[in-house]
Homo-oligomer: A and B are copies of this chain.
Amino acid sequence: MALINEHFLKLPGSYLFSEIAKRVKTYKEAHPEAQVISLGIGDVTQALAPAVIEAMHKAVEEMSDSKTMRGYAPDFGYSFLIDAIIENDFKSRGIHLDPDEVFVSDGAKSDTGNIGDILSPENIVAVTDPVYPVYLDTNAMAGRAGYFKDGQWNNIVYLPCTSTNNFIPEIITKSVDVVYLCYPNNPTGTTLTKEQLKKWVDYALEKKVLLMFDAAYEAFITEDEVPHSIYEIEGAKQVAIEFRSFSKTAGFTGVRCGYTVVPKELTALDKAGREHTLNLLWRRRQSTKFNGTAYIVQRAAEATYSPEGKKQIRETINYYMQNAKMIKEALNSAGFETYGGVNAPYIWIKTPEGVSSWDFFDYLLNNHQVVCTPGVGFGKSGEGFVRMTAFGKREDTIEALRRIKDGRN
């Protein structure tokens, strides 16, 4: 008689974005004439860069001839892409990586979820609060989170990030084994400076803590003191795995490509205290449970590093960041307190005094037909905030802001 993984039963109701979709659907059914604008889910709206389109057409064409078609890709990615990643994303910032430290995949969501496969269910996990739900739910499925009660998991250590601490998580005094850090942050759009991140690396080095550094939004950084990679900090290779994504950088949410860096000097322990190279464990995980990223997709990713590709994706990032600036300015001038939006495509907005995240979500939907994401969906410390994204079309963003500023539809 087959038994289920009972940790799944502990997961709370529905995933945040399903609940949003449900409320929006209900609203639209009741108001079929309404022009609902979504600044909620972080999905891109702009076309792929022409250089990427060209590379994909070329790769498709190669697949049409048995002389040039490609079968199974290398499990960890083609050299042409890995070399471009190292050259452009790391070497240019003074970071040396070997090709076998970079693992190309179908996206950072899969990788941040699957990485838990190589870790013991006994590790104590810490996350910033609010947080990207995938870190929590995947650890819960693996039995690391304990039980969910009053909006929190009893085995998870939460690091509150609120306006009180300027969204800078405080170094942990409790004993933990793994810490997830996402910077630039989803959902708050805030960042850590090099100095602030160095404290975490030093802490991890001292306590032998593993850092899961999610840098999916690094392309949106505009300020110099904000690090693009955790490996800009000395010693980070001994303590950190870094996740990267082309989803937001190059509009690949529907193309699916990301990569994960697992440095060879990064180790973790078995119970007997012996050190093991995580690079080899992840290598084994990926070669066993993953069959490589599509050739066409890898050529598309490679094209984001060509001179034209870089220029084109930069233009789109600037477009989104102009949206971010507009959202921030409009909401500030309408009297809202806002955070983020400078080095990230997310704006974190304080709800009016005494109004909950979901109530403000409903208010914006019912009164302005604007969809945001309730902050509490990202954790207890997100209560009293909502997230807006800069990924909308310009005209939609302008119209949404007009409705909110004018206080009417």
User: Restricting to A1-55, which residues have a CB under 8 Å from any CB of B?
Assistant: 1-6, 8-9, 11, 15, 18, 41, 43-48, 50, 53
Closest to A114 in B: B289
Question: Which parts of A360-409 form the interface with B (CB within 8 Å)?
Answer: 393
Q: Does A268 contact B (CB under 8 A)?
A: yes
Q: Which residues between 157 and 206 of chain A lie within 8 Å of chain B, taking CB atoms?
A: 177-178
Q: Which residues of B lie under 8 Å from residue A278 when comparing CB positions?
A: 4
Q: Within the assembled complex, what's the spacing in Å between the Cα atoms of A60 and B349?
A: 36
Q: Is A285 an interface residue (CB 8 A)?
A: yes
Give the docked Cα–Cα distance between A18 and B286 (Å).
13
CA distance A117 to B268 in the complex (A): 23
Question: In this complex, what residue of B is CB-closest to A268?
Answer: B2
Q: Does A235 contact B (CB under 8 A)?
A: no
Cβ < 8 Å to B, chain A residues 123-157: 123, 134, 137-138, 141
Question: Is there contact, CB below 8 Å, between A1 and B269?
Answer: yes
A292 contacts chain B at the CB level, 8 A cutoff = yes
CB of A333 within 8 A of chain B? no
Interface presence of A104 (CB below 8 A): no
How far apart are the CA atoms of A207 and B56 in the complex, in Å? 50
Q: Mark A230-270, 1 if CB is under 8 A from B, else 0.
A: 00000000000000000000010111100000000000111
Residue of B nearest to A258 (CB): B291
Q: Which of A64-72, A92-100, A221-229, A350-358 contacts B (4 or more CB under 8 A)?
A: A64-72
Does A284 lie at the interface of the complex (its beta carbon under 8 Å from any beta carbon of B)? yes
Taking a contact as CB atoms under 8 Å apart, the answer to whether B60 and A60 are in contact is yes
**Would you call A44 and B60 a contact (CB within 8 A)?**
no
Contact indicator A254/B294 (Cβ below 8 Å): yes
